[in-house]
Amino acid sequence: MATKAEVLNFVRIYVDKMAEHRQELTDLDQAIGDGDHGINMNRGFKAVDEKLLTFADKTIEEILNAVGMTLVSTVGGASGPLYGTAFLRAGASAKGKEALSDQDVILAFDEGVGGIQYRGKAVKGEKTILDSMLPAIDAMKKSIGEGKSMTVALEEAEKAAWAGVEYTKTIIATKGRASYLGERSIGHQDPGATSMAYLFQAAKEAAQKAGK
Ligand code: ADP
Ligand code: MG
């Protein structure tokens, strides 16, 4: 996911994933929220899809910013501003860079998760997006630190993300709509943590495709 073409491919793959898993994400949100997470994510990334052609002349910074702006402006639910801010922060971290080194990719994810934490004021263990994203980033940093390739690092990151998704079934939601359920949220998988695990899956597939 280093060159601009790879970043674009990652976005394209995630657009498809949000269409493919729309119903699954919505069903998860039906159980502990208002049943719109798949609809929200799909709406946002369909709007991104419609702009993809206009991204051809843009820099990595501009592409990630455009994704962020589109999400913020088209998604009504909590996830729009959260994912939107993550892409905007990741975009800002890529300012002036023609391609992203492995450390730049880590920085983009760190800035992205920082944006989600700034917006949502959540910490690990509150049954949110962070419960898959934080362990995934840690796993990615560990792999890159050990000199592994980006594909392997993102494989490890995705694995950690899904483990985080499983973990959300065991904890009480204390942020977002699901927090209204209190203890009754236990046993249910968090939709936002799930959509974030698919984001790492998309990043992994983009890296695999690029042979990185
Ligand atoms: P809404 O809750 O407004 O209906 P969505 O259904 O699209 O929005 O998104 C719900 C998801 O948003 C939750 O499953 C959770 O992962 C995530 N979420 C909610 N609040 C926060 C927060 N403060 N920080 C991080 N993620 C959050
Ligand atoms: Mg919802």
pLDDT in tens, 22-44: 999 999 999 999 999 999 999 99
Instruction: Tell me what the mean pLDDT of segment 160-164 comes to.
Output: 98
pLDDT of residue 76: 84
Please indicate whether residue 159 or residue 183 has the higher confidence score (pLDDT): 159
pLDDT of residue 2: 80
Cα 175 to averaged position of ligand 1 atoms, centre (Å): 8
What percent of the chain is predicted at pLDDT more than 90?
Answer: 92
Cα 146 to averaged position of ligand 1 atoms, centre (Å): 33
Query: For ligand 1, which residues put their CB under 6 angstroms from it?
Result: 29, 33-34, 36-37, 40, 77-79, 82, 116, 120, 122, 128-130, 175-177, 190-193
Instruction: Tell me what the mean pLDDT of segment 69-96 comes to.
Output: 96
Say which CATH topology domain 2-210 has. 1.25.40
State the amino acid at position 131 in one-letter form: D
182 — pLDDT class (breaks 50, 70, 90):
confident
Q: What are the boundaries of each domain within the chain?
A: 2-210
